[in-house]
Chain A
Amino acid sequence: MGNLTDTLGHKLRNAYGHLLNEPIPDRFFELLQKLDDAAKRKADAGDDRRGMIDTKTTDGE
């Protein structure tokens, strides 16, 4: 039983290793790039809004 369990573990890791070695499809890199771009745009828009508020505050003083 112990040997069989060892064999199982070995076979399982082999099969899993095979899956891990497959190249990552481009769709995932494209996805991360899109998320990155969207987050940057959102951050930039936030900066712009803050800038407008700051200006108003300054004008009001």
Chain B
Amino acid sequence: MQHLPTPQTRQALVGAIPNLRAFALALCGDPVRADDLVQETLVKAWHKLDTFEEGTSLKSWLFTILRNTFYSEYRRRRRETSDPDGEHAAKLKSQPSQHSALELNELMKAMDLLPPDQREALLLVGAEGLAYEEVAAITGCAVGTVKSRVNRARAKIAKMLDGETNDLPGDRPRTSLTA
């Protein structure tokens, strides 16, 4: 039977929405799709609240649901478009940079050049401030793998910052989530 969330849990859900929107945007790159992903995540979380372990991080749990939702759809779309190598999906991923309403931050542009696994690891550790162990639990891989992904991501972006590519990060905010 589904339990009604306590006022504290409800408040925690609301409090996590900005983080979920930012994570979703980093994953899919499209503000509209990002908000749809957050909505799907909230609905799923609401119906599975009785499986959430009290005392653990609600935010990490929500990140896990959001990530699983994103990758499920990613795989489904890849099958539907007969795109086994993900080339078409990768193009879809880069579409947001074409949104005229968006002002993309150069740093996030550089992040878009990273493989998805490195991008999400860097975001969760470097921006969200999660521990490697938490990110390992969210992404379902070993702590060492997370550390390696973060290090590789940092090194790649540091090279960009150092001028080894033309994608020099700037100080402008990446985008508004409000398209």
Contacts and interface: CB of A to CB of B under 8 A. Distances in A.
Contacts of B84: none
Contacts of A29: 14
B42 A19 contact: no
Contacts of A43: 4
B146 to A, nearest CB: 16
Interface stretch (B51-59, B85-93, B133-141, B156-164): B156-164
Contacts of A25: 35, 178
Contacts of B116: none
Interface residues of A, number: 32
A27 B35 contact: yes
Contacts of A32: 10, 13-14, 42, 46
Residue from A19, A22, A27, A31 whose CB has the most chain B CB atoms within 10 Å: A19
What's the dominant secondary structure at chain B's contact region? helix
B179 to A, nearest CB: 11
Given A1-B158, A18-B173, A12 B42 contact: no
Given A27-B35, A36-B4, A4 B158 contact: yes
Contacts, number: 92
A49 interface: no
Contact of B22 (A7, A8, A16, A31): A16
A4 B18 contact: no
Q: Please name the 10 residue pairs, one residue from A and one from B, whose CB atoms are nearest each other, closest first.
A: A16-B127, A18-B173, A19-B22, A4-B158, A20-B18, A35-B46, A11-B107, A12-B127, A12-B126, A15-B105
13 contacts: A8-B126, A11-B169, A12-B127, A15-B173, A16-B123, A16-B127, A22-B176, A23-B178, A24-B14, A24-B18, A27-B35, A35-B46, A40-B4
